[in-house]
Amino acid sequence: MSSSKNANSNLLSGDTMKASETNSVVKIIGSGSRLSSLDFYRGLVMVFLMLESTELYGHLVKDTQPGTFFHSLAIQFTHYPWHGLHFWDLIQPAFMFIAGTAMAFSLTKQTAQGRSWNQQAKHALKRSGWLFFWGVLDYAVRGDHLSFELWDVLTQLSFTMLVAFLIFKWKPSYQILFSIGLLILTECLYRLTHVPGFDQPFTDQHNFGNYIDLILMNKINPGGWVAINCIPTAAHTIWGVVAGKWLLSLPDNKAKIRHIIILGVLALLIGYGLDISGITPIIKRIATTSFTLVSGGYCLLALAFFYFWIDVLNHKRWLHFFTIVGMNSIFIYLFFEIVVSRWLGEYINTIVNGIISPTGLSHSAIMIIAALTIFVFEWCLCFWLYRKKIFFKV
């Protein structure tokens, strides 16, 4: 991972559109301007992840009474056990979708600057390699032993980003068709392979994804996560690229927003239709077709709303809090996954508990305060990097 002193550098670099499409956006990207809504969207997702890293959501679930409004709200920040959907199930798709949108802007800028496809491809391979390395490293230590696991979001992103790059120069319609092909491939793998013991497409521990994990890692994730989620969720990154291309190339804001909304609504309708009809259930842990469509649809609609509210209507007040985090998203993700979860979180919890416990506050309240303290520390670290114009990228 490298660092940059350029305040306008993107976290995820890449390549570009055709020359005819590039000419229409050179003025936009050549000035060094950024898409404020994309910066906010990325920062918002990272803030949610930072709060999760402090175990705040877990404390809120434990400390609220089941059946109450606040408990129902709190469990939205946990993954659905199997068949169903919580708000938290949309965070990883958003992370991968945003990476695709950022790729569209970054690659278009690089083409405008005269970088060849070979140069871009070399960087894309290097970037995917680093993402894979950091993703494996994140899960490499399990207690007192080393472990090789492929379930981390960065490991998944290393694949989806490379796929999105390889078809980047295709027309958006062809890219969408390719993403549909990935979903059909996933359906076929789960339904038609008939591996003994792993021939139940949508049953935890007995599906094709579990079988592949045995081959790749000689283990099955007890939570039901599978490594080949990267195949269907490549659609999220591809749809992010498509949305980015539309934002860069379509003639007016109405057309940009209309295209994104139509694709988002279609994805939602088809995804929920597959689930309600009983054809394919919505299961995040194995990224079923219905889940990928529904979550991708929400990502598209969120981008359309943020673009309209922030970039079109120019509501940019209070965005700085989020964009500061988004500017170093890969760094802060690795920081809280490796440093906070394995050492700093417990350290800060102990300090806060020691200072506040004499006041008589309940243990639950102290843990919530400790979680917020960890979050403030993480945000201040991002702010310090921002002030120093240090931006980590891969």
Taking 70 as the threshold, does the pLDDT of residue 326 lie above it? Answer: yes
Q: What is the pLDDT of residue 119?
A: 94
Structure tokens at 161: 């980003």
Structure tokens at 261: 């909304």
Kindly list the distances between the CA atom of residue 263 and the CA atoms of 82, 94, 234, 270, 300, in Å, as whole numbers in the listed order: 26, 15, 16, 11, 7
- State pLDDT tens for residues 355-392: 988 888 888 889 999 999 999 999 999 999 999 998 88
Mean pLDDT of 258-266: 97
**Residue whose token pair is 């990502």:** 299
Alpha-carbon gap, residue 313 to 315, rounded angstroms: 6
Taking 60 as the threshold, does the pLDDT of residue 14 lie above it? Answer: no
- Could you write out the DSSP letters of every residue in 8-72? T--SS------HHHHHTTHHHHHTT---HHHHHHHHHHHHHHHHHHTTHHHHHHHHS-TTSHHHH
- State pLDDT tens for residues 105-158: 999 999 999 999 999 999 999 999 999 999 998 888 877 788 899 999 999 999
Q: Does the predicted TM-score (pTM) go above 0.85?
A: yes
Q: What is the pLDDT of residue 90?
A: 97
DSSP, res 316? -
Alpha-carbon gap, residue 134 to 87, rounded angstroms: 26
Taking 50 as the threshold, does the pLDDT of residue 36 lie above it? Answer: yes
* Cross-strand partners of 145: 142
Mean pLDDT of 229-237: 97
Taking 90 as the threshold, does the pLDDT of residue 245 lie above it? Answer: yes
Taking 70 as the threshold, does the pLDDT of residue 22 lie above it? Answer: no
Percent of the chain at pLDDT exceeding 90: 73
Taking 80 as the threshold, does the pLDDT of residue 10 lie above it? Answer: no
Q: Using alpha carbons, select from 380, 392, 377 the residue that is nearest to residue 54.
A: 377
Name residue 183's amino acid.
L
Q: What is the pLDDT of residue 147?
A: 87
Structure tokens at 3: 């660092």
Q: Which of 102-111, 213-222, 267-276, 352-361 has the lowest mean pLDDT?
A: 352-361
Structure tokens at 2: 């490298």
Alpha-carbon gap, residue 330 to 313, rounded angstroms: 29
Alpha-carbon gap, residue 87 to 72, rounded angstroms: 11
The mean pLDDT value of the chain amounts to 89
